[in-house]
Amino acid sequence: MMWLIFGILAIIFAILNIFNFKKKSDIFRFLSLSFTSLTVCAFYADGASRVIIEDWAGLMDTMPTISKALWVCVALSIVINSISLIKSYRKKSQNKKAA
């Protein structure tokens, strides 16, 4: 369940990064990428703990759904963070042309 919380936090910070890109603060981008990494680690830890206790039925029930949700969380984090990067580069190129 922790992977879901980390994934949601990663997306929230990525969205905050889009709205805050004008202030040149990279803290939201850092937090988003950090929580994306923690999402992957928490997902792996959940699967590993189920293997250790030999909960094969639990693995078969949860892994297909969790892995799809993990892909969505990571993909959204990457896409949303790339939007802020593109906006930042466009702003820099417009400032260079104006100068």
Residue 97 domain-assigned? Answer: no
Count of domains in the chain? Answer: 1
Residue 31 domain-assigned? Answer: yes
Q: What integer pLDDT is reported at residue 99 of this predicted model?
A: 62
User: Is the entire prediction scored with pTM above 0.95?
Assistant: no
pLDDT tens digits for 14-33?
888 888 766 766 788 889 88
- Distance between CA atoms of residues 79 and 43, nearest Å: 20
Instruction: Categorize the per-residue pLDDT at 53 as very low, low, confident or very high, splitting at 50, 70 and 90.
Output: very high
The percent of residues in the chain predicted with pLDDT above 90, rounded, is 7
Residue 99 domain-assigned? Answer: no
Residue 43 domain-assigned? Answer: yes
Query: In the 3-class helix/strand/coil scheme, how is 46-84 assigned residue by residue?
Result: HHHHHHHCCCHHHHHHHHHHHHHHHHHHHHHHHHHHHHH
Q: What is the mean pLDDT of residues 38-67?
A: 87
Domain containing residue 21:
2-92
Residue 74 domain-assigned? Answer: yes
As a 3-state breakdown, the chain gives helix, strand, coil percent values, each rounded to 5, of 90, 0, 10
Residue 98 domain-assigned? Answer: no
Q: Which two tokens stand for residue 60?
A: 């078969």
